[in-house]
């Protein structure tokens, strides 16, 4: 190849830059060891048996009634949740962008709802659904006097997942709707089309790839979700919970490995469709910025029902969150609604402190490492060229599509007896370190994504000029790049802390009795029906999370780069 000389020179220059070389090597090792290898082991596990390749494990798993049920359950759940979340998200987005809101509070409500998924532990909505509609539910039992209400099963999961995931769809679709040029719709309206016709013939077709995108994102989330099916699923087992039970109940980790491979293939395929087809198509159909402000709909027959519906949904979601602290403060949910601190007392009497200490400590160690790693990855991906760059970018995005349960099984199979059963690194298994690593891997894609978008906004010549003035890559990164993306770095720090302290799916498979984690405690107490304790844990957890987000906003307000750079003009 004619271009080989410049490639060779680039390589030499890279070698002459030890910091960067070191960074790349460390990253490669880390990603291979903790993402590629565990997934690879699962694949090997399920096709390699007693010295030969076989599909035996797969056929065994496929013939298991339990697996088949779980498989179809998962798909059904994903479809329903995906469709519902997309529709509700679309309604919210439409109201937000197109409808004139007369009451300020409605806008506020929308804002809160769009922020909730960021700060909420995964199973909070399950808990409150049980407390609202369960056998001792405040609505079912105390208001409607239904004593045998059953929220468990598909309907419960669907409600909870939809309410958890629709805000994500809302935000995605809002961005797209804003990009539709109003003159397109006005033109159609001008030649006599009704509002509904304009929506179905102009807006909707333009939005179609975006809707598909939102649907797939939700579908993947739903399928990978572990905590909610676990808490409110009842007998409705999904793949994620079945895999968990296969390991913890039947001690069949080969079977679990095969199931994991199937679940993983499913999410991966959908992820690639979403990432490389729909996302591109969305960008292609909706490139133009809106040329001017949109005429908002004021027609009451449209605005009133839409706004009302969305406000009710939003209010409902907020009430569900408010349920949690009350759940912790009432003496006995469903029977005795007098206030007491007994659940908190109970919590702190029985190892509550340890749970908070362990969760907090592990997460606070994981957070800065994650934030730094994701900034380094984004830096390399955006600003540098080298051979393994595509691999690094690909693998760190791949982690986004891997369900936590699958990763957990991968770590069990991959590290319980050391790498490839060789005993190497076997000391890792069961330690706090592996939990920290899981936290890091689970938050890395999110941090990387936001890091990449932050870095793309920095003119590349700013770093080049530092490089040119004599700074090596490490120096450039520390003195120029990092200070400029301080905001994004800090929000990445907090996000990964929040994600870590609220994580459960992979962790629950790997945690040893030596560590008590809040999320696992909530799960355990909720399973046993001690909702008061579960709520007490969840309340404190929400407070911690909320405080960190508050801290982040304060920090960015007072020390953020944006203030220094933009604020003084």
Partner 1 sequence: MLAESKGIRLEHISKIYQDPKTGKDFRAVDDANIVIKPGSFVTLLGPSGCGKTTTLRMIAGFESPDEGEIFLGDKAINELTPNKRDTAMVFQSYALFPHYNVFDNVAYGLKLRKLSKEEIHEKVMEILDLVELTGMESRMTNQLSGGQQQRVALARALVVEPSVLLFDEPLSNLDAKLRVSMRTEIRNIQQRVGITAVYVTHDQSEAMALSDQIIIMHKGVVAQVGTPQEIYYHPVNEFVADFIGEANFLKGKLVSKKDNNENDGIMDINGCMVEVTEIRTRKVGDMGTLVLRPESATLAEEGQLKCRVIVSCFMGAYQNYHVMVGDTLVKITDFNPKHKKIYQVNETAYVNFAPCDVHVL
CA–centroid distance for 425 within its chain = 29
Cα(553)–Cα(487) distance, integer angstroms: 9
Residues 6+ apart with CB under 8 A from 69: 237
Smallest separation (angstroms) from partner 1 to the CB of 497 = 25
The one among 77, 127, 172, 480 contacting partner 1 by CB under 8 A: 480
Residues 6+ apart with CB under 8 A from 343: 328, 329, 532, 533, 535, 536
The one among 475, 529, 530, 555 contacting partner 1 by CB under 8 A: 475
Smallest separation (angstroms) from partner 1 to the CB of 484 = 6
State the residue for tokens 């291979």: 32
Query: Which of 180, 202, 213, 198 is closest to 86 using CA atoms?
Result: 213
Bridge partners of 330, per DSSP, are: 339
Smallest separation (angstroms) from partner 1 to the CB of 477 = 13
Binding window for partner 1 (CB under 8 A); candidates: 120-128, 260-268, 463-471, 502-510: 463-471
Nearer to partner 1, 306 or 471 (CB): 471
Q: Is 12 in the site for partner 1 (CB under 8 A)?
A: yes
The one among 37, 386, 391, 467 contacting partner 1 by CB under 8 A: 467
Nearer to partner 1, 358 or 487 (CB): 487
Nearer to partner 1, 225 or 487 (CB): 487
Please, which of residues 504-563 interact with partner 1 by CB under 8 A? Answer: 561
Q: Is 459 in the site for partner 1 (CB under 8 A)?
A: yes
- HEC string of 199-257? HHHHHHHHHHHHHHHHHHHHHHHHHHCCHHHHHHCCCCCCHHHHHHHHHHCCCCHHHHH
The one among 115, 144, 312, 462 contacting partner 1 by CB under 8 A: 462
Nearer to partner 1, 126 or 488 (CB): 488
Bridge partners of 75, per DSSP, are: none
Tokens of 559: 């020390």
Q: Is 181 in the site for partner 1 (CB under 8 A)?
A: no
- Which helix (H) or strand (E) covers residue 187, if one does? helix 182-190
Measured between alpha carbons, how far apart are the two ends of the chain, in Å? 51
Q: Is 10 in the site for partner 1 (CB under 8 A)?
A: yes
Q: Are 223 and 77 in contact (CB under 8 A)?
A: yes
The length of the chain, given as a count of residues: 569
Smallest separation (angstroms) from partner 1 to the CB of 563 = 11
Smallest separation (angstroms) from partner 1 to the CB of 392 = 21
Tokens of 261: 């491979």
Sign of torsion over alpha carbons 449, 454, 457, 459: negative
Binding window for partner 1 (CB under 8 A); candidates: 85-93, 176-184, 326-334, 459-467: 459-467
Smallest separation (angstroms) from partner 1 to the CB of 466 = 7
Smallest separation (angstroms) from partner 1 to the CB of 493 = 18
DSSP state letter for 337:
E
Smallest separation (angstroms) from partner 1 to the CB of 368 = 21
Bridge partners of 336, per DSSP, are: 332
Q: Is 565 in the site for partner 1 (CB under 8 A)?
A: yes
Binding window for partner 1 (CB under 8 A); candidates: 159-167, 442-450, 472-480, 532-540: 472-480
State the residue for tokens 């945690």: 511
Query: Which of 499, 227, 486, 514 is closest to 363 using CA atoms?
Result: 499
The one among 284, 422, 469, 558 contacting partner 1 by CB under 8 A: 469
CA angle, residues 290, 291, 297, in degrees to nearest 5? 65
Q: Using CB under 8 A as the criterion, which residues of the chain lie in contact with partner 1 when the complex forms?
A: 2-7, 9-10, 12-13, 16-17, 459, 461-462, 464-472, 475, 479-480, 483-484, 561, 564-566, 568-569
């Amino acid at each position: 190849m004619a271009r080989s000389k410049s490639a060779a020179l680039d390589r030499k220059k890279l070698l002459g830059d030890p910091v960067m070389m070191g960074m790349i090597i460390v990253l490669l090792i880390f990603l291979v060891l903790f993402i590629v290898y565990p997934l690879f082991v699962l694949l090997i596990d399920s096709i390699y048996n007693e010295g030969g390749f076989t599909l035996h494990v797969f056929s065994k798993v496929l013939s298991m009634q339990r697996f088949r049920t779980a498989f179809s359950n998962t798909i059904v759940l994903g479809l329903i949740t995906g469709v519902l979340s997309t529709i509700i998200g679309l309604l919210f987005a439409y109201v937000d962008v197109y409808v004139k809101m007369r009451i300020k509070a409605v806008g506020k409500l929308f804002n809160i709802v769009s922020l909730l998924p960021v700060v909420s532990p995964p199973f909070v909505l399950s808990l409150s659904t049980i407390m609202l509609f369960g056998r001792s539910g405040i609505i079912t039992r105390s208001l409607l006097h239904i004593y045998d209400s059953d929220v468990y099963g598909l309907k419960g999961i669907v409600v909870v997942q939809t309410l958890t995931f629709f805000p994500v769809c809302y935000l995605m679709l809002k961005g797209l709707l804003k990009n539709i040029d109003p003159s397109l719709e006005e033109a159609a309206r001008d030649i006599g089309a009704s509002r509904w016709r304009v929506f179905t013939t102009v807006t909707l077709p333009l939005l179609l790839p975006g809707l598909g995108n939102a649907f797939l994102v939700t579908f993947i989330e739903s399928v990978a979700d572990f905590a909610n099916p676990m808490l409110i699923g009842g007998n409705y087992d999904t793949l994620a919970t079945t895999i968990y039970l296969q390991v913890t109940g039947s001690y069949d980790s080969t079977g679990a490995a095969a199931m994991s491979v199937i679940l993983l293939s499913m999410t991966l395929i959908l992820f690639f469709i979403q990432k490389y087809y729909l996302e591109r198509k969305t960008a292609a159909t909706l490139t133009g910025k809106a040329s001017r402000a949109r005429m908002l709909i004021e027609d009451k027959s449209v605005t009133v029902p839409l706004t009302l519906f969305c406000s009710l949904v939003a209010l409902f979601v907020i009430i569900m969150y408010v349920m949690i602290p009350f759940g912790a403060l009432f003496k006995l949910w469903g029977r005795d609604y007098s206030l007491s601190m007994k659940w908190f007392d109970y919590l702190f009497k029985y190892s509550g402190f340890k749970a908070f200490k362990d969760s907090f400590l592990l997460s606070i160690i994981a957070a800065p490492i994650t934030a730094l790693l994701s900034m380094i990855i984004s830096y390399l991906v955006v600003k540098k060229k080298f051979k393994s760059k595509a691999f690094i970018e690909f693998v760190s995005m791949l982690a986004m599509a891997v369900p936590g349960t699958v990763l957990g099984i991968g770590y069990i199979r991959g590290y319980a007896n050391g790498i490839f059963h060789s005993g190497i690194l076997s000391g890792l298994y069961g330690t706090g370190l592996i939990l920290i690593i899981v936290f890091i891997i689970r938050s890395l894609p999110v941090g990387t994504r936001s890091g990449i978008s932050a870095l793309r906004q920095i003119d590349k010549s700013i770093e080049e000029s530092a490089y040119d003035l004599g700074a090596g890559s490490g120096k450039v990164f520390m003195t120029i790049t990092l200070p400029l993306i301080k905001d994004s770095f800090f929000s990445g720090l907090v996000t990964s802390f929040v994600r870590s302290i609220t994580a459960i799916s992979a962790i629950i498979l790997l945690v040893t009795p030596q560590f008590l984690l809040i999320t696992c405690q909530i799960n355990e107490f909720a399973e046993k029906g001690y909702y008061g304790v579960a709520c007490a844990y969840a309340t404190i957890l929400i407070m911690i999370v909320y405080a960190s987000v508050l801290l982040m906003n304060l920090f960015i307000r007072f020390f953020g780069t944006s203030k220094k750079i933009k604020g003084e003009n």
